[in-house]
């Protein structure tokens, strides 16, 4: 199922890019740049989680797919900007040259900007008429909150400001919650909202998503210093070189792993309480655990 969700998302992303960019009188280079990073081979976790929650709670796949694509589009924006020379200054992403290495910095900045609006545009265009206007507005509001200064941007600002600074655990939690957690929260919430789940279930799912966001960034901090550049598809050891505040720099590798496992356990408990059994969520967890070992 995980693979099927991934394939559906990639196929639909290609179709949407074609639909909006072909025969358009707008600049070709910006669409090429937007498409480049979005369609490089990623794990598609945010799309998969949205599709799985939507499916578990009975949403129509045709409504879940544009959501999954918009989430991957927002994710691609965050990666392009994260890699810029003025941010993490990375040359490699998803095993290929970063966006600014291929298209130049100015186009990479603009592609990130354009992706944010493209995702929101897709949600409005593809959900209107199929979901109630209340749901469309709600989902688009969540999307925009997540992309901006109340979401990813808040975390990225704190991440940059924490470079070369003393360890402050509250700040570290804040960074991970916002730079990574908000998008996972948005992914799971979107799947749940288009399925119309009840508020008390939605709140538990948000808790699951918040935990997942933190444990995923802890995982990313760990593999940054345990895996090779070819295994990562991005430059290994980058956090240490840049003096980043991470769970590994704050606690050391072993304690960071313990924190990762305790968050995994907490998420098992939430799914058990909700009586949710999901092979997709289990497979994602297994994939992360395997790479941490
Ligand atoms: C990378 O996310 C950015 C972080 C939040 C750590 P992923 O590891 O999900 O990247 P892709 O989508 O698989 O390339
Ligand atoms: C990921 O942080 C956060 C976003 C991309 C928003 P990192 O800087 O650790 O991500 P990678 O390691 O470059 O993928
Ligand atoms: Mg970063
Ligand atoms: Mg980075
Ligand atoms: Mg990282």
Tell me the C-alpha to C-alpha distance, in Å, between residue 48 and each of 147, 164, 177, 275.
Answer: 19, 35, 20, 20
Within the chain, residue ranges assigned H as helices are 2-21, 28-39, 45-56, 61-83, 99-103, 105-127, 133-147, 152-161, 169-176, 182-194, 199-226, 229-232, 238-241, 247-251, 253-273, 279-292
Q: Give residue 80 CA to ligand 2 midpoint distance, Å.
A: 10
Q: Give residue 79 CA to ligand 2 midpoint distance, Å.
A: 7
The pLDDT value recorded for residue 200 is 96
Q: Give residue 199 CA to ligand 3 midpoint distance, Å.
A: 33
Ligand 1 atom index nearest CA of 82: 3
- How far apart CA 90 and CA 243 sit, in angstroms, is 14
User: What value does the mean pLDDT take over residues 6-28?
Assistant: 93
Tell me the C-alpha to C-alpha distance, in Å, between residue 175 and each of 91, 140, 218, 292.
Answer: 23, 23, 11, 21
Convert the pLDDT of each residue in 239-293 to its tens digit.
999 999 999 999 999 999 999 999 999 999 999 999 999 999 999 999 999 999 8
Pocket of ligand 2 (CB under 6 A): 78-79, 82, 88, 90, 152, 156, 179-180, 220, 224, 234
Give pTM, 2 decimals.
Answer: 0.97
Q: Give residue 83 CA to ligand 3 midpoint distance, Å.
A: 7
Task: Please give the angle made by the CA atoms of 164, 110 and 145, to the nearest 5 degrees.
Answer: 70
The pLDDT value recorded for residue 5 is 98
Ligand 1 atom index nearest CA of 93: 14
The residue contributing the CA closest to ligand 1 atom 10 is 42
- How far apart CA 2 and CA 151 sit, in angstroms, is 27
Q: Give residue 60 CA to ligand 2 midpoint distance, Å.
A: 32
- How far apart CA 156 and CA 175 sit, in angstroms, is 7
- Cα torsion angle, 181, 280, 257, 82, sign: negative
User: What value does the mean pLDDT take over residues 15-21?
Assistant: 96
Convert the pLDDT of each residue in 21-69 to its tens digit.
987 788 999 999 999 999 999 999 999 999 999 999 999 999 999 999 9
Pocket mutation for ligand 1, best pick of 2, 37, 39, 43 (most atoms within 8 Å of C-beta): 43
User: What value does the mean pLDDT take over residues 114-134?
Assistant: 97
Ligand nearest to the CA of 233: 1
Pocket of ligand 1 (CB under 6 A): 42-43, 45, 75, 94, 180, 217, 220
Give the distance from CA 163 to its chain's centroid.
Answer: 22
**Could you list the residue range(s) of the whole structural domain that residue 95 is in?**
2-291
Q: Give residue 199 CA to ligand 2 midpoint distance, Å.
A: 31
User: What value does the mean pLDDT take over residues 215-226?
Assistant: 97
As for how many domains the chain has, the answer is 1
Q: Give residue 13 CA to ligand 2 midpoint distance, Å.
A: 22
User: What value does the mean pLDDT take over residues 194-200?
Assistant: 97
Ligand 2 atom index nearest CA of 87: 8
The pLDDT value recorded for residue 23 is 74
For position 220, which CATH number holds?
Answer: 1.10.600.10
Pocket mutation for ligand 1, best pick of 36, 39, 153, 220 (most atoms within 8 Å of C-beta): 220
User: What value does the mean pLDDT take over residues 179-183?
Assistant: 98
Average pLDDT score, the chain: 96
């Amino acid at each position: 199922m995980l693979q099927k969700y991934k394939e559906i998302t990639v196929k639909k992303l290609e179709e949407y890019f074609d639909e909006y960019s072909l025969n358009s009188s707008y600049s070709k280079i910006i669409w090429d740049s937007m498409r480049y990073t979005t369609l490089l081979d990623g794990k598609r976790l945010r799309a998969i989680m949205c599709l799985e929650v939507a499916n578990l709670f009975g949403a129509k796949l045709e409504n879940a797919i544009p959501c999954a694509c918009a989430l991957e589009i927002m994710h691609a924006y965050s990666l392009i900007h994260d890699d810029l020379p003025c941010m993490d200054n990375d040359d490699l992403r998803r095993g290929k040259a970063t966006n600014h290495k291929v298209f130049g910095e100015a186009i990479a900045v603009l592609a990130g900007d354009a992706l944010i609006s493209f995702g929101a545009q897709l949600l409005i265009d593809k959900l209107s008429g199929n979901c109630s206007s209340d749901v469309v507005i709600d989902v688009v509001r969540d999307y925009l909150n997540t992309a901006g200064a109340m979401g990813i941007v808040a975390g990225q600002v704190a991440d940059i400001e924490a470079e070369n600074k003393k360890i402050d655990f509250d700040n570290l939690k804040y960074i991970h919650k916002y730079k990574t957690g908000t998008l996972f929260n948005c992914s799971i919430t979107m799947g749940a909202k288009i399925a119309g789940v009840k508020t008390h279930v939605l709140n538990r799912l948000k808790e699951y998503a918040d935990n997942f966001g933190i444990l995923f960034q802890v995982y990313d901090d760990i593999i940054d210093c345990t895996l090779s550049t070819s295994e990562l598809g991005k430059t290994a050891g980058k956090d240490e070189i840049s003096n980043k505040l991470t769970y590994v720099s704050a606690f050391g590798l072993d304690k960071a792993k313990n924190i990762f496992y305790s968050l995994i356990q907490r998420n098992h408990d939430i799914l058990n309480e909700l009586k949710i059994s999901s092979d997709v969520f289990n497979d994602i967890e297994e994939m992360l655990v395997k790479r941490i070992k």
